[in-house]
Amino acid sequence: MIMLPRSKLDYVKQLSRNGWNKCYGDRWTDNMHSEIVETVKRFAYADGNNHPTVLEIGTGSGSDIIHLYETMGMEVCGLDYAPNALRLIHERSPDMQLCEADARHLPFPDESFDIVFSQGLVEHYLDDKLDQLMREQIRVAERYVIIDVPNFWALYYTLKKHLLIAFDHGWDFGWETEYTEHELEQLGSRYGLTPICSYSWGYDGLTRRINKLLHFFRLGLEILEEDYGKYFQMSIGVVFQKS
């Protein structure tokens, strides 16, 4: 049966704490995002900082923050408000610092962390909730804020997602706002952040098929990623410096 389309706010409300809890199974899954991890590493040790502190907000499976903790020895904290996600992370990495909290009300003093980053978080927030989220990320960051979101120009993924949302069929992740690189930079700039670099990663179903076809001819989209990935890859991220 086709359901009537719901509003954006309905979808934002759809994933309560219990809703997100159901998104995680009974076993930890390693889905590390190497582009994000490498970007955090690059800026964490900038300016001769030998003991960086890093917070991931909306840590989910925790794969990225676990890698930074276990392979780099960084002082980290993974924050989420889904208890099941944090339980799975604790089973995988029992000594790592975790925090169960709402991203709009972070339980940390001002400028507690050198870097605050998020992946797959900001796109779920709208209006006043987005405002609260942005202000809190910036408040607890001392040097850098890294935001990673769905890329508007991943057109196959963007169109498919919004069709599923519009007809309330097979989409379990609440509302998502995709951004262009420029829009994401503008978002940070509105809160006094300075964008200093960006990156992109991942292929949706269509670009993956195109790339596979190109490989048959000994070509590939990989050679375009550095300069043009922001126009076709699934996700984009921007590194902001705090003033």
Model confidence over 5-23: pLDDT tens digits? 455 555 444 455 555 555 6
Q: Which domains does the chain have, with CATH numbers?
A: 8-242 (3.40.50.150)
Rounded to whole angstroms, the maximal C-alpha distance in the chain is 59
pLDDT of residue 50: 86
pLDDT of residue 73: 86
Assign 95 to helix, strand or coil: coil
pLDDT of residue 5: 45
Residues with pLDDT less than 50, the chain: 1-5, 11-14
**Cβ burial, residue 18 (10 Å; 0-12/13-18/19+):** exposed
The angle at the Cα of 44, spanning 40 to 45, to the nearest 5 degrees, equals: 130
pLDDT of residue 48: 83
